[in-house]
Structure formats: C-alpha cells, structure tokens
Structure 1
Amino acid sequence: MADPHTAWSSGDPQAVLDGFEQLPGFVWIFEGPELRVVAANPAVRAAVGNRSGLIGEPFRRAVPELAGQHIFELLDQALRGVRSHGYEQRVLTDRNGDGSLTEAFYTFDMAPWHNPDGSVRGVIVQAVDATPVVAARQAAETAAATAERRYRQAAGLVLELQRSLLPDMLPVLPRVQVAAHYLVASSDLVAGGDWFDAVPLPDGRLALTVGDVVGHGAAAAAAMGQLRTVARQALQSGGELPQVLAVLDDFAARADVTRAATTCLAVLDPDTGTLEAASHGHPAPLVIGATGEARHLPLTPTGPLGTGAGPAPLHAHRLRADDVLLLYTDGLIERPRQSLHDGARILADAAAAARRAILDAATTIPQRLPDRICTLVTERLALAGGGFGDDTTLLAAHLLPQPLAPLHVTLPADTTALRPMRRHLSDWLVRIGAGELDASDLVHAVGEAVTNAVDHAYPSGTPGTFTLHGTLDHQGVVHVTCADQGRWRPPVADPGGRGRGLTMIRGLVDRAEVRHTEAGTTVSMHHHIGQATNVTTVAAAQAAGPHKQAAVVEEFTAAVVETPTGRVLRVQGPVDLVTGPRLRAAIMQASRGGSLPLTIDLTPVTHLSSTGVRILHEVARIVAQLRVTATPQSPAHAVLELTGLRHLLPEAAANGSDDGFHR
C-alpha cells in the first residue's frame, strides 16, 4: 500500500497529466502577480491559436488583445481572493496571428489558487466553449423575430385587405349620423367575412346593411366584397328592399363560398322615421331610445342567403327622433358557454349604458353619439369576453332630433373677416360631422373664394360685404356659396401670383363654378364629405383609442430654430392676406436677405392661402437652397402639391424633381 505522505492525493501523477491534456473543457493556471501561465491544456491553447512561448509568459504579454475586455480585471480580482463567474461572455482573440479577432463565447469560473498556508499563489480558470449554444439561441431568436415581423406584416396585410373590401367612408347626412366599427378577431390572422355599408338612396332614404360570410380567409373576404358590391349596386339602382334581397339571394346561391351568408338590411326614411328591415339568418337590429331604453326589433328571419329559404319577411317600424339603430354581426354576441340570447342581452345593456353616459369634456371618447356607442360597446364587450373569437361589426345610425341647420353668415369684405369666416365655417363643418381632411379642404377652398371677394370685388376704400351659405344634402354633399355685390377686377397675369385662387378651389373640392352678374359674383363649391370607418384589431383599438382633435391654433407665429441640419423657420397658424406680409418678412430675415440656406416648416400652418403661395414662389427665386417641409396630413401639403411648389418638398428633391423651376 502506498505511503499516504508520499502518494499524490489526486491519483497517479501521469494519469492526472494525461487527463489534464485531454480535458474537453478549458483550464488555465496562472501564478504570481504577473499571472504567468504555468499550465494550459490543449483545448485552451488552441482557443488562442497555439502560440509559441505561451507557458511561462505573463498572461497580459501572451494574449495582449484581451486588454479592454474585462478579463485581466477579473483575474486581478481573483488574485485578491475574490472568485468570479462569467456566463456566455464574449471574448475576442487573435487566433491566426494576423491581427483579426475571432469571436467566441465562454462560461467560466475564475478561482484563487491557494498555497498550503492559505495565501494566494495564483489563479485557476475553468471554462467551457458556449459558442455553439449562443449561436443556436441567436438563430432561434432571429427566427422568432423574423416570425414576429412576418406576423405583424401579415396582420397589417389582413387589415389592409379588410379595409380595401369595406367602405372607407360613411356618408355624412343632414338627418342621420352614422358610425361603424369593424374589429378583426383576436384569435385569427386571416381575413374575415363580415361586411357593413350605409348607402344614401336617390329618394333621400338611407340603406343600412351588415352581413357575414361563412368561414375565413381570402375566399371569404372576396365573397364578402362581392356581396357588399351587389347589394350596393342594387340599392343605388333604385331597388326596393325585397328586390335587393332577392338579388343577393340569387347571387349567393351561385357559389359555395357565398352560399349560407347571413345579412340584415334596413331602409330608413330620415324625414318620417319609417324603417323597413328584413333578415336572412341574421340577428335583429337593436334600437336605443333617447332615455337609454333598449329594444330588439321583432324580426322574423328566414334562412341564410342562397339556401332556398325563400323571401325574408319585412318588418315595418317607426324610429322616434333621437333613437339610435344598431346593426351588428353575431361575433359581437357569441361567447363560450353563453347563449346568443344572453349575448344579445349583454349587448343591449352595454349599448344602453353607453347611450346614458354623460361625458366629461376632457375625455378621449368621441362626442358624436353613434361613434361613442360603437367605441364603448366594442371595448366593453371585448373586455367582458376576453376578446372576440370572430370578426365583429357594429353599425350605428342616430336619427337626429332636428335636421342640421345650414350655415348663413354675412361679413365685411375686408381682411378682418378672414379669421371669423374660418371660425364660422369650421364650427359648422364640425357640427355636421365632416371629417378632418374634408373640413380642411373646404376651409381652404372657401377661404380662397372669400379672399377673391375681399381682394377684387370692391374698389379700394369702398365698403362691401360677402355672404357665405352652406347646406348639406341627402347624398352627403356640402354646397357652399360665397356671394358678393361687387365686380371682380381682372387677375394679374402672373404665374407665381394672382390667379391661383380659382385653381386651388377647383383642386380642393369636387366641383366649383363662378357666376358673374350685374348683382355681383357668386362662387359655388360642392364637395362630397364622409366620416372615416374604423377597421382595426381589438388590441389596437384598446391601445390607441379615438382621441379628440387638438384645438386649431389661429395665432400666426414664425420662429427661427437652429438645428444640426441647418436653420429652420417654423411657421404656425394661418397664412392669408393679413399674415402674408409677416411671413415674407420672417423668411427674408431668417435667410438674411436670401443669402443663407433656409428650411420653412409649414406643418403647423392651419391655412395656406394663395397669398402665401405667391410669397413662396417669390422667395424661392431669392433664397439660396430653400426647402419647405409639411407632413402629408397637414393642410399645407395639399396646397403645395396643387400650386407648383412640390419641388420645394424634401421628398421631391430626393427624387430629383424640379418641376421645371430653376433658381
């Protein structure tokens, strides 16, 4: 038996050495304050490129490229008796001796190497190469990120597909306010088959329809689009409700993908409140009264479309003034372990509560009653059921107690009337429910007509007036006239100055006419307006919410801001006959008479009249390297596009466009 005082405690020295040389892990042993390499197994020597003279060298001199990688600092810490660990630490080494660094990842343990008396002799480092594990995880993370990106792209494509097949705008009408919310199901990333529509009829009535095609996917979405188009065409051709449903039923029977679709169609006479409705396998509409009472219309549905179920029975009803009619698809009321009857009752309770809600002025919930009901009902039912298992459509129509009053205002034909004119017109457009873009176009167009009346109708120093009259017809068209009692002076033939007002008007509205008579001049503008539909996911609807439009700033300001890319003149408020000279002075001052490059930010501008356009054309010939910025959604952007100033926008410059204009 070997003497324990002379035998090596770890076993046979040669066996230990042979095992050390074949260890799959990495082992370094450093001695003394200089951390001289006294042992390194073949695996670790290969990791640094099998350098000659490695054993016996101070580690800092042997592997100098580790400086700055926090390796030497950890070794010094171990020399002071503090053990440390690293997990998948990135280490760069010059394995080829050519100065290029190779990346590897190591999980390591740095421990003090003690003398028999307990003092620290050096450091022992054990490590394993984690590079394959890290590479595999990074590949998995990249794949997951790619999958997530593709998912989001697919979700975006689904929403775009839904939006392209559904109406992008709902009509704005004098007696009925309409809103719709379409929520893509939480559990599906495929296009659904729900549809909705609101169609003004030639006789002034309004047709409202919702429907649901069986299944999901592109085929169902295409079938939905076909059925909606067929229904709209039949309605606009003057068909009565039974004939329209017969056309839909016949069309649905021709293909498997359209067969068994359900629909509810209602036709409302806003003047009398008379409502006719019929259903092919679809839930009955809900009526919410002025005091919040809810009642489902007693429809007797026939079978789904295209199944040979026969004509749907008509139900006649009379809505009272201030009633709200709700049409919806069954995705709104279907819940696991819950009957459709219970779902319909929950919908009625939620809609009644939304109707009775008295909102604080600071809330982000829409003030228009049909928008408010759609928003609160879909939010609350999604919350109650943990989302929707199917696509969900809610279409609301509010029969107004009184028709919307027309606009009629007479103001003096001078520059002091421009601001009150815009305020009167903007307030009226808000009251009738015009969308933000339509309202902006109309305010700009009418502003040009008024500017012409102020500028041209009356001789200098002669008092005069102009009158604005605005109406909204049963097809959702706004008609605004601007009439004066003077005679317009001929415009100056200047392509960069006068004469652009009428061009702007015709570019901003659907149709415009100018009529000169002995009694004066009348500019008539006609523009079809609408309210944007809401097609989104449940999560996006809850995260974003409908926020109120910020208050319009009517004070003109122009401030210079020095930015890393150069000097910017930020302009805010209206640019018209009154503020135009201030804009020109600000541009010339900011550019030091045209000698300095300048960017003019027109994004906050609320009104860019032909006066401002003329000034921009003038200074573009004077200011070196003039650029104008305006977001595509801003009022100024459309005007710049219309009036030959597009070349000043950064995107046009990037595309090399100069519109034939040279400075």
Structure 2
Amino acid sequence: MATDGIVDQSAVLQAFDGSPGIQVVVRASDLRVVAANRRARDLLLRDSLVDVRLQDLREPGIQTIVTALSEVVRTGVRFHEDTVPVVPDWSDPTSGVWLDLEVTPWLDESGALAGAIAAGIDVTARVRAANLERSGAATADERLARAREVVLRLQGALLPSTVPLLPRVDVAASYLVAGLEQAAGGDWFDSATLPDGRVSLTVGDVVGHGVEASAIMSQLRAVLAARLLEGAGILDALDAVEAFAGRVSGAFAATVCVALLDPHSGDLEYATRGHPAPLVVGPDGAQILPTTGDGPLGSRTEGRVSTARLRDGDAIVLFTDGLVENLHRPLRDGIAVLERTAIDAYHGSSPALRGIESVASRICQHVPAVLTDGGFTDDVTVLAAHRRTPPEALHLTVPAEPGRLAEVRGEIDVWGRGVGLGTRDRAALVLGVSEVVANAIEHAYRDGDVGPVKVAATIRDDAIVEVVVRDHGRWREPDVDPGDRGRGFSMMASAGLQVGVETAADGTTVTLECPARRPAPVDQADVVVGGAAREKAPLAVTTDPAGARVVRVGGAVDHRAAAAQVQAEILRLSRNGLVPVTIDLRDVVHLGSAGVRVLESLLQTIDRLQVIAPAGTPAAQTLEVAGTPFVSSEV
C-alpha cells in the first residue's frame, strides 16, 4: 500500500494491467512497446508485448493500431477513431472486436515527445447493434422498394402505354408519382384518334392515392375513352362518365379536362369539370385558357363546352393540379412558373432541350422537372399536343444489291426517329423493310440485271405509318412446300406489322403498316450514339484464336450470301455437325430472316450448338420475335 508522499509502484502497475480497454505505450526512440495492459495482450494474442518493435507486429488485422502509434510518434498529432476493427487472427474473423481508439502523444517532463499512448475501449456490442439496426432498415427499405415497384407496374398497366402521332399533331405525355408511400395515384391521361379525324386529349384526377384510386381512375378513363371513340361529343361523353361515377364509391369529386383538336384547322373544343384549363404555348408566348366553369363529377353542374383555335406551331398542354399546386408556392405563382417554363421548353432555350426535336416531348420532360424541383406532394401528369409541320415523306431508290440494305435500314431508322416513333416500333419497322427489300433483291431480278427498289414511307392522318416497297421485276409464286423459307413474313407479323402484297406484270408492291405512336407516360430523348456507323459495319465471321470452338459473328447478316458465309464457317468448325460449337452474336448489328433460317437449320444439324445473344442486342430482339432458341450469356 502507499504511504503519504510515497507512490506504491506495484499498485500502480496492477491498476494499469487490469485497466479496462486496451493500453499500449510505445517509445519514440526505437518504436518499441514499453508497456501494455492485460487486455491489450489478450486482444493481440501475445503473452508479452514489452520490448516488441512495432514493425514486428505484422498481423493484417491490427495494422490500424500499429499505424496510428507510428503516425503519432512521427507527427505528434493526436489520433482518434470511434470504430476501429481489430482482427488479430485473420483466419478467424469472429476473433475481432471494434474499438473506440485514441492515440495521444507521450511527453516527458520537459515537454519533448517521448512516445505515444494508445487507449482503446471495446465498442463491439454497440457496433453490432447499430449494424443490426441498419440491416433491418435496409431490409425494410428493400421491401418498400419492391412494393412500390409492384404498384408502379400496376399504375403503368392502368394507363395507356403510348400516345398517337399524326402528320399535323405530335403528342407526348409524362406521369410523376408523388412519393414512396403514395406509389399509386388517381391521375390519368389519354389520347386517341377519333372517327371524325380529330384527336382527343384527356387528363383527370381522382381524389386520394393508393390502389383504390388507381382502380377508379382506370374505370373513369375507360368509360370516357369508349364514348369518345364511338363518336360522342364532349358533353355526351362526360354525361356517361358522370352517370358511371354516381355508381362507384370514391369517384365523387373527381376532376377532368377533355379537349378535341382538329389537326388540320386547329379548331379546339374543350370542357373542364373542376379541373385546371389547358395552357396554350406558341411562338409569341403562353396563356391559360378560361375554364368552362363546371364543378367536379357529382356536383350536378350544367356542362358547357368552350372553343379556341390553335395556330400552326401552337401547342396545347393539359395537366393535373399537382403540377402547379405546392405547399411552398401559391397557385397563381405556380401558373406563372408553368407559363415561363413552357415557353423555355417550346423554344428549346438550353442545349439539352435543343437536342430534343419534338416540342411536345420537350414540354413533357422540362416542365415537370422544373416545377417539381423543390419537391411535390401530389401526382403530376402532363399531356402535350403540338400542331407541327407534317414530317416529310421518305423517298428512297436503291439498286437491288445486298450491299445497299444497311443504307435502307439507316434511312428508315432516321426517318422513324424524326416522326417520333419509339425505339421498339422503329426496330420493328426497320426489320420489316429490310426483309422486304432483301426479298426483292433476291427474287425480283433473276436474269442478271440489277434493277431499282423504291421505298416510300409516310405517316397518315389515322396515326398509321405506311411504308411501300416497289420493284419492277417479275413475281415469283411461292413454292407449294417452302421448306425452311418464308420466315420473313412471319417475323414481320410477330413484330406487329401489317403486310400487304400486290403483284403485276411490271413488278411487285409490298405495303407495311404499323401504328404511329410514342411511348408514354415517360418520354425521353431517343438518341442512338454511333448507330449509323454500327449499322454499316461489314459482316465479320471469326473463330477463337485460342482454339475454342467459338464462332463470333459481327456486322449485318441481312441476306442469303451473308448467312451462307456464317453457315459455312460453323459447319467447318463443327466438322459438319460432329463436334459442339458456340455461335456468339453479340456484335451483330442486324439479323435478318436469312440468318435466322441458317441458325435454325444448324440447330437441327448440330446436337450441341449454343447460340449466344446478350439481352437487348439486335440479334436477341430478332431471335425473340422468331422464337429461335438462344441464351443471353455463356453457361
């Protein structure tokens, strides 16, 4: 025991050795440990640490402590970290602990740096509890995200997936969901071409959120669309919706705006039932049209219809109140911001906007992005229709040579993008035109002469894209037993194309039709970087230099000669079907029916033939349409 004025060194050493946490003292002159308590020795799995040099403590799991001591000795600057992992036995991760570690300079009586002192408190229990809490929160977040994804899919299924495109009217739409806890909402939009040639534009809002609101809005949308497609006027169609809403719980006080636009004259009829009136934006500015003064569904107000006229170049914008109403912004200010933002989008006031050719698409992308930048508490729907100059029809004449197929596909793709077609519809159109032109190249001119093939593409007033392919050769009657041929027409049908064939003494005319539509509700700039260069890539058939039996195909397999080249190389490598071979199509830019026909023939000939086409590649898309078996990656 200690007496007055005398330090009991034995007691001090015992107290130090039994102190909580770890204590390690290092001398500056030679970086040797001069003191270490029992917990430090136990943690570092050493019977003794005294006189051990820091550089001899080599275990990977304790290097944070070693480095911290060395740095404090070198710099004289305190180190502190509240969660330091220490794993003395790297082969047994469970041996590790978490320390709240502090390393301070050790100064002698003169204030000179004598070394460093490390003190660490075991916080393993606290860290594990926090990790468990975070893990539980992450699991909950994942469940919420999955639930939201399911509801968003439901929302997408209840809304139209596309909007129509006409020569004089370009339509686009966007839909934004308010928040995680409100993943399904009551907003809706719709657009269609009517029997009298006009375009219907409707936007509505059911009170509330959730699956029930989504179900009600889908029913109201369906009733309204059905009556308009039957040729009913606005008031008759709204009467049908009113009658239906009176029998459906939850439809009371739903709001709606309906507009009918004549693409050629610009004449507009519209009615608002408790809903914001449309915005008209054009070269000279923007203004909100007057409401028709009628209340929401169930208010039993007398229905009225107002009229206006859109000039050439004007756009009309229908929207739900979530776009302009905000807790942090009065409604009048929201309308003013909407008008300014719509003008910016109309004129393409930024480089990003100028990169989007479609005025309607610019409005539907830019306006919601700006007005919801500070957050929003209600769903946001925007539907825009722009009276545009009709896109020029495509007229193309090429000689009936296989080498011109890439040019034809490129021209069709560029034209389709210009009129506003979505990626999937453009791909189907490119596939169909390539098949028809390839057929003309192969069969129309069989006497050695190379005649012309003419391609004309246009968009019609009934929202249909029509492509006519003509040649001046002789028609060849199909074989009674076509064998493995004739796949091109079935592929076109599977892609959603309507095909018509007319034969005459002076040649054959094939007409392809597909809906003219833009994907909705979220429309994005549809830019393909380097697409033209890839489309013109020549056919390349190579084998693995390492000796593996893999045939890699690149470029376009778009006619019989190209397909025959692929077939010959595969048969050579497989020894005419005796040994297994893998065909890698990831670099193919276009796979026509001739290529599909060869692949299916080879699949029947070679027992262990694997066709690889990564998901999303042109080859994979064609094989999916044709129903040809393939794998998306090597297995």
Residue 560 of structure 1 contacts residue 590 of structure 1 at CA under 8 Å; is this kept in 2? Answer: no
Comparing 64-73 with 371-380, greater Cα deviation is found at: 64-73
Comparing 293-302 with 511-520, greater Cα deviation is found at: 511-520
Q: 1:634 corresponds to which letter in structure 2? A: T
Match runs of 1:541-620 below 5 Å: 546=525, 548-550=527-529, 551-553=531-533, 554-557=535-538, 558=540, 569=552, 571-573=554-556, 575-576=558-559, 579-580=562-563, 598-603=582-587, 605=589, 607-617=590-600
Mapped partners of 1:380, 1:331: distance in 2: 13
Distance 1:590 1:600, change over 3 A: farther
The alignment's C-alpha RMSD in Å is 4.4
1:474 corresponding residue in structure 2: 461
Mapped partners of 1:442, 1:81: distance in 2: 71
Structure 1 residue 314, shift from structure 2 partner: 0.7
SS at match of 2:312: coil
Distance 1:380 1:492, change over 3 A: same
Pairing 1:319–2:299 present? no
Structure 1 residue 354, shift from structure 2 partner: 2.4
Normalised to the residue count of structure 1, the TM-score between the two structures is 0.79
Structure 1 residue 448, shift from structure 2 partner: 1.3
Mapped partners of 2:437, 2:243: distance in 1: 53
Q: Name which of 209, 213, 223 aligns with 1:220.
A: 213
2:366 corresponding residue in structure 1: 376
SS at match of 2:424: helix
Residues 162-219 of structure 1: CA deviation (Å, up to 9, x unaligned): 3222111111222211011212236864322111110211222111000111122222
Distance 1:507 1:593, change over 3 A: same
Match runs of 1:67-106 below 5 Å: 69-70=62-63, 73=66, 77=70, 87=81, 88-93=83-88, 102-106=95-99
Residues 216-259 of structure 1: CA deviation (Å, up to 9, x unaligned): 22222222222112211222232221111011112222234211
1:435 corresponding residue in structure 2: 422
SS at match of 2:532: coil
> Identity, % of aligned pairs?
34
Comparing 253-262 with 78-87, greater Cα deviation is found at: 78-87
Mapped partners of 2:545, 2:131: distance in 1: 39
Residues 135-181 of structure 1: CA deviation (Å, up to 9, x unaligned): 12222332343344345444434433332221111112222110112
Residues 501-533 of structure 1: CA deviation (Å, up to 9, x unaligned): 222222223432434455543333322231011
Residue 365 of structure 1 contacts residue 375 of structure 1 at CA under 8 Å; is this kept in 2? Answer: no
Residue 442 of structure 1 contacts residue 509 of structure 1 at CA under 8 Å; is this kept in 2? Answer: no
Unaligned runs of 5+ in 2: none
SS at match of 1:263: strand
Residues 439-467 of structure 1: CA deviation (Å, up to 9, x unaligned): 11112112212222221223231454444
Residue 65 of structure 1 contacts residue 94 of structure 1 at CA under 8 Å; is this kept in 2? Answer: no
Distance 1:73 1:167, change over 3 A: same
Mapped partners of 1:8, 1:561: distance in 2: 89
Comparing 275-284 with 589-598, greater Cα deviation is found at: 589-598
Distance 1:621 1:36, change over 3 A: same
Match runs of 1:228-267 below 5 Å: 228-267=221-260
Residues 480-502 of structure 1: CA deviation (Å, up to 9, x unaligned): 33333412154596755x33222
Q: 2:6 corresponds to which letter in structure 1? A: W
1:287 corresponding residue in structure 2: 280
Structure 1 residue 285, shift from structure 2 partner: 0.9
Match runs of 1:451-470 below 5 Å: 451-470=438-457
Distance 1:47 1:337, change over 3 A: closer
Mapped partners of 2:258, 2:174: distance in 1: 17
SS at match of 1:203: coil
Distance 1:296 1:108, change over 3 A: closer
Comparing 559-568 with 504-513, greater Cα deviation is found at: 559-568
SS at match of 1:283: coil
1:650 corresponding residue in structure 2: 632
SS at match of 1:445: helix
Distance 1:14 1:255, change over 3 A: farther
Structure 1 residue 400, shift from structure 2 partner: 2.6
SS at match of 1:448: helix
Residues 349-402 of structure 1: CA deviation (Å, up to 9, x unaligned): 222232233676x8674111111222222233234xx1333211111111234x
Pairing 1:135–2:128 present? yes
Mapped partners of 2:267, 2:296: distance in 1: 25
Pairing 1:304–2:296 present? yes
Pairing 1:207–2:207 present? no
Q: 1:460 corresponds to which letter in structure 2? A: D
Mapped partners of 2:416, 2:114: distance in 1: 86
Comparing 417-426 with 327-336, greater Cα deviation is found at: 417-426
Pairing 1:392–2:380 present? yes
1:661 corresponding residue in structure 2: none
Comparing 622-631 with 418-427, greater Cα deviation is found at: 622-631
Q: 1:219 corresponds to which letter in structure 2? A: E
Mapped partners of 1:197, 1:178: distance in 2: 10
Residue 452 of structure 2 contacts residue 471 of structure 2 at CA under 8 Å; is this kept in 1? Answer: yes
Mapped partners of 1:56, 1:411: distance in 2: 87
Structure 1 residue 581, shift from structure 2 partner: 5.8
SS at match of 1:355: helix
Mapped partners of 2:377, 2:215: distance in 1: 21
Q: 1:600 corresponds to which letter in structure 2? A: D
Q: 1:243 corresponds to which letter in structure 2? A: D
Residue 27 of structure 1 contacts residue 124 of structure 1 at CA under 8 Å; is this kept in 2? Answer: yes
Structure 1 residue 560, shift from structure 2 partner: 5.6
Comparing 243-252 with 146-155, greater Cα deviation is found at: 146-155
Match runs of 1:154-193 below 5 Å: 154-185=147-178, 189-193=182-186
Distance 1:222 1:517, change over 3 A: same
Structure 1 residue 348, shift from structure 2 partner: 1.9
Q: 1:569 corresponds to which letter in structure 2? A: R
Mapped partners of 2:359, 2:446: distance in 1: 48
Distance 1:490 1:74, change over 3 A: closer
Q: Name which of 421, 432, 443 aligns with 1:445.
A: 432
SS at match of 1:646: coil
Distance 1:80 1:413, change over 3 A: closer
Structure 1 residue 328, shift from structure 2 partner: 0.9
Mapped partners of 1:520, 1:226: distance in 2: 50
Count, aligned residues = 624
Mapped partners of 1:332, 1:445: distance in 2: 41
Residue 158 of structure 1 contacts residue 189 of structure 1 at CA under 8 Å; is this kept in 2? Answer: no
Pairing 1:357–2:341 present? no
Normalised to the residue count of structure 2, the TM-score between the two structures is 0.82
Comparing 179-188 with 26-35, greater Cα deviation is found at: 26-35
Match runs of 1:3-42 below 5 Å: 7-9=5-7, 23-27=19-23, 40-41=37-38
Residue 455 of structure 2 contacts residue 469 of structure 2 at CA under 8 Å; is this kept in 1? Answer: yes
Distance 1:56 1:423, change over 3 A: closer
Unaligned runs of 5+ in 1: 537-544, 655-663
Mapped partners of 2:382, 2:249: distance in 1: 26
Residue 429 of structure 2 contacts residue 497 of structure 2 at CA under 8 Å; is this kept in 1? Answer: no
Q: 1:552 corresponds to which letter in structure 2? A: A
Structure 1 residue 341, shift from structure 2 partner: 3.2
Distance 1:457 1:562, change over 3 A: closer
Mapped partners of 2:49, 2:621: distance in 1: 77
Mapped partners of 2:68, 2:150: distance in 1: 54
